[in-house]
A and B are shown apart, each in its own frame.
Chain A
Amino acid sequence: MSTGNIQEYNGLWVFVEQRDGTPAQASLELLGKGRDLAEKLKVDVTAILIGHNVSEMAEELIFYGADRVIIADDPIVKDYRTEIYADILAEQVFKEKPEILLIGATCIGRDLAPRISAQMNTGCTADCTELDIDKEMRLIVATKPFFGRDLMADIICPLHRPQMVTVRPGVMELKDQDRKRQGELIYVDVNCKEEDIKVKVLETIRAVSDSISLEEAEKVVAAGMGVGSKEGFEMVKELAELLGAQIGATSLPVDEGWISEDKKIGQTGKTIRPKLYIGCGVSGAIQHSAGMINGKLIIAINTNPKADIFNFADYGIIGDINEIVPALIKELRAIKG
């Protein structure tokens, strides 16, 4: 399959992921961002929603920024399965020819987006941190941090449609609902038999999490490689506990195995917007800062006065965490009595 005449493509689409009838927050964030981008192009925003008994959600999608919602509602697509979801989406894309397709880079989104890009023979830019429109060329310009330090790339897809982009959850801000917005609901049929679907879902096991997730935390203390060792890490964790903060980390302590993967902050981890962020021995590489730059009050403790993190911290402490963190712990204990 090929793109054909790219002039025929028009409009911006957002794939809305849902589980058990609740839309993924990443999709709602993209509806809001998509609205801004679509206004620059003077086109409509279409949400495409696949699932079973999902119609109730459709109105909410309009409040979040959609002008139209295409709904494929059928028991056969109750659970996400790559091929059938990709086929439904591709069929609609072929029919309606949107110029842009945005997908949240959740587990499901990252499974689906590349499959569709291959099916449509078009480009997909993964894990973008900024999106903009080049009005003259009618292109979406997708910015992503690249391999290495502070290297950014602006990626375009000039000759293929739709231009596909994925964005991690939390990267775009969730806009408020506008309950006055109105839009159109379009129902499409699902023509598929269970026998034709090759993958079966035997079981779904939900994990119950006992701690507040990083994204929800009001205060986050992040440990970087400057903590030096597991002991240093534990010390920083104690500081977090005393502050009533969640502990997070850059990618290196995660790689060391000092903390689990779901506590990683940054481009390939969580994107957070806490009221307080304290970086302990964090250099501030763009892959990390992409995930915390929107924190309200950013505090950095680092031995190197030239560390990047001081470029965007509100308060900076040039010092060794082995001296500063114990002093902070002592002070906090003192006031707690």
Chain B
Amino acid sequence: MNIVVCIKQVPETSDIGWDPKTGSLIREGVEGILNPNDKNALEASLQIREQHGGVITALSMGPRQAEDTLREALSMGVDKAILLNDRIFAGSDTLSTSYALHLAIKKISHFDLILCGKESWDAMTAHVGPQLSELLNLPQLTYATEIAIHNNSVTIKQKLENGFRMLKTSFPALITVEKEINKPRIPSMESIMDAYRDKEVQVWTNEDLGDDKKHFGLKGSPTQSRTVYIKKVHKGKVAMLEGKPDEIARNLIQILKQKGLV
């Protein structure tokens, strides 16, 4: 069972800037972490390998510092790590991100399963999994809370608003995982050291993907941010209730009573 896990580095804090010209977020120089939901995808791949063997490749597109994220994946136990890094990729929306990732996966060529997180915590679009499935012409099984591998097929338990569905498909397939699917392992100090000392992160550029540049980055992104702005919602004037807590409480309950809310 050969698995590619797509992982993303996300900013650690929400205090990040944006480029007023392009409307893109400035990720450079901001502390990055492995998208928490992608740890579930990594854990799921490791559990599958434990039962069925195979090779796991972690794949990420992002700035050079996203290498740390891949080292973290290596320390958790994946076999290979590939970073897609090129200035041209900067400013990608979800579609051009998916486009670059799909070319990389085609280059990896031998895979049975692709695993993604359901969503990344900065963009939170949950786009990349389904877009990758389309570009690779794969069946997509989203929102998995359980995965079961059989001889020629895979079933998942899919989480929906009002319940679950059991879905089945054949290989190769793409699965996106929910965070409740598992509890990601915490790598030991030793394996973290190994990941930095002995393991390799391959870096692929635009040329390795061998496609013309118009599909990548800002140019290859159908969506554009026209303006980014701070918005404060103002609804009118707030009436402040003052006094000692007892007085405030009596006052507020009185108001609610008058409005028929208590």
Binding site for B on A (CB under 8 A): 19, 82-83, 86, 106-108, 110-115, 117-119, 121-127, 141, 146-160, 198-207, 209, 219, 243, 268, 275-276, 284, 286, 289, 293, 297-300, 308, 310-319, 323-324, 326-328, 330-332, 335
A269: shortest Cβ distance to chain B, in Å? 11
Q: A155 touching B245 by the CB < 8 A rule?
A: no
CA distance A148 to B27 in the complex (A): 13
B227 CB–A CB distance under 8 Å: yes
Q: A152 touching B231 by the CB < 8 A rule?
A: yes
Q: B238 touching A155 by the CB < 8 A rule?
A: no
**A-B contacts, 27 listed (Cβ < 8 Å):** A108-B160, A114-B129, A117-B95, A118-B130, A118-B132, A122-B95, A126-B127, A141-B226, A148-B15, A149-B15, A151-B18, A151-B231, A152-B230, A153-B23, A153-B227, A156-B226, A202-B168, A203-B165, A205-B164, A207-B164, A276-B256, A276-B261, A310-B238, A311-B235, A315-B241, A316-B238, A332-B262
What B residues does A310 contact at CB under 8 A?
A: 238
A98: shortest Cβ distance to chain B, in Å? 16
CA distance A160 to B222 in the complex (A): 6
Q: A313 touching B238 by the CB < 8 A rule?
A: yes
Complex: chain A residue closest to B180, CB-CB: A261
* Chain B 202-220 near chain A by CB (<8 Å), digits 1 or 0: 0000000000000000000
Binding site for A on B (CB under 8 A): 11, 14-16, 18, 23, 25, 93-95, 98, 122-135, 139-143, 155, 159-170, 173, 221-236, 238-242, 245-246, 248-250, 252-253, 255-256, 259, 261-262
CA distance A315 to B239 in the complex (A): 5
CA distance A290 to B147 in the complex (A): 34
B174: shortest Cβ distance to chain A, in Å? 10
Q: B223 touching A124 by the CB < 8 A rule?
A: yes
What A residues does B124 contact at CB under 8 A?
A: 126-127, 268
Q: A150 touching B249 by the CB < 8 A rule?
A: no
What A residues does B140 contact at CB under 8 A?
A: 82-83, 111, 115, 199
Q: Which of A157, A198, A317 sits near B252, CB closer than 8 Å?
A: A317
